Amino acid sequence: MEPGSPKRPFETAPTIKQVADVARVSRATVSRAFGAPHLLRRDTVESVRAVAERLGYVPNHIARALSTGRTGNIALVVPDITNAFFAALMRGAQAKARDAGYATFVGDSDETPELEDMLLTKLAAQVEGFVLVSPRLSQERIKHHAARRALVLVNSDIADLSRLLIDTKPSYERAVEHLASLGHGAVAYLAGPDLSWSNGQRAAAVSDAARRLSLRVVDVPTSRPSFEAGRACVACLLEAGVTAALAFDDVVAQGIVAGLAERGVMVPRDFSVVGCDGVIATTNFPPLTSIDVGCLSAGQRAVDLLMNILKDPTTAGQRIDLPADFIIRASTGPAQKLAAEQQS
């Protein structure tokens, strides 16, 4: 270390007082130049801001928060950052929050209720609100947290709480119809997490549509929605004699396609696969027939909702349903003759 170096290793940020002194105004004026410029003369605002700029002054979030009770922070809590669906959602949410002047904490719960609970608890003191995505936590605990902080749920349906639900049911039904029309008589559904609302919805949609169309459905559980899980269940799929599979999401679908390819089963010639999410459906070969849930805009909408609640708490508690689009690409095709005959 340099001799005579300052006790603090880092430069200390300029304060409102320093700006005030240099600009020859009061601290209140500096404060207003940033927080309420309409109360000041134009040139006052400009000169103060110029000085601030020159000094590198930025209003201190913490001090402001202490004074106003508003932190200007929100937190995003998701089961797995590396999942493309959550990542895209976070991207939209984070950008929206930034535009609204909010900074964003992120919490990865690693798919566990305990970590989720812990994150919600510890972050609460520093945020104005939460966006809780696909929670694995109990209703009771979620309500507990919602009672002390604004909270928007994504893909979790709890009465009286603000929630954004991506409605994939019609799309999964259309997907089943699509497969039926291609001559598939037996299909599989590769499930997502038990605790997931989305999974419940999707499983029900497949089951309902299949019953209606007299298709046979095989339900295949997976430990966790992953490429590996999809790949691992291929043997099971082929054994079950199905000619098509609907997956909980695109990651699982990709795994299925890869697992099939390894065994020389070509998609869509020999087997059809349907995914869900829409982020990575197009970054696959063949491009996946999939359900586009518009995760980016879902993230934005969730933050919109949260911002509304922060502005007017009486708007809390509403339910918003977002549509999803079934999009036919190249991973589905006519049922293979052989397999079709097996059914009849």
- Cα distance between residue 9 and residue 231, in whole Å: 52
Structure tokens at 307: 């911002």
For residues 151-170, which are near its own copies according to CB under 8 A? none
Residue 90 binding its own copies, by CB under 8 A: yes
Q: Residues with Cβ < 8 Å from 321, sequence gap 6 or more?
A: 165, 166, 167
- Cα distance between residue 88 and residue 63, in whole Å: 32
| Closest among 249, 216, 222 to 335, alpha carbons compared | 216
Q: Which is nearer to its own copies, 220 or 281 (CB)?
A: 281
User: β-pairing, 129-133 with 73-78?
Assistant: parallel
Per CB under 8 A, the list member of 24, 41, 54, 61 interacting with its own copies is 61
Q: Measured from the CB of residue 146, what is the shortest distance to DNA in angstroms? A: 19
For residues 14-73, which are near DNA according to CB under 7 A? 15-17, 24-29, 31-32, 34-36, 39-41, 44, 57-60, 63-64, 66-68
Residue 70 binding its own copies, by CB under 8 A: yes
Please, are residues 281 and 287 in contact by the beta-carbon 8 Å criterion?
A: yes
194 binds, among DNA, its own copies, none (CB under 5 to 8 A by kind): none
Number of residues near its own copies (by CB under 8 A): 84
Q: Measured from the CB of residue 69, what is the shortest distance to DNA in angstroms? A: 7
> Which amino acid, one-letter code, is at 138?
S
- Cα distance between residue 263 and residue 168, in whole Å: 31
153 binds, among its own copies, DNA, none (CB under 5 to 8 A by kind): none
> Which amino acid, one-letter code, is at 228?
E
102 binds, among DNA, its own copies, none (CB under 5 to 8 A by kind): its own copies
Residue-wise DSSP of 130-145: EEEES--S-HHHHHHH
- Cα distance between residue 277 and residue 225, in whole Å: 12
Q: Which is nearer to DNA, 39 or 330 (CB)?
A: 39
For residues 40-59, which are near its own copies according to CB under 8 A? 58-59
Which residues of this chain interact with DNA, rule CB under 7 A? 6, 12-13, 15-17, 24-29, 31-32, 34-36, 39-41, 44, 57-60, 63-64, 66-68
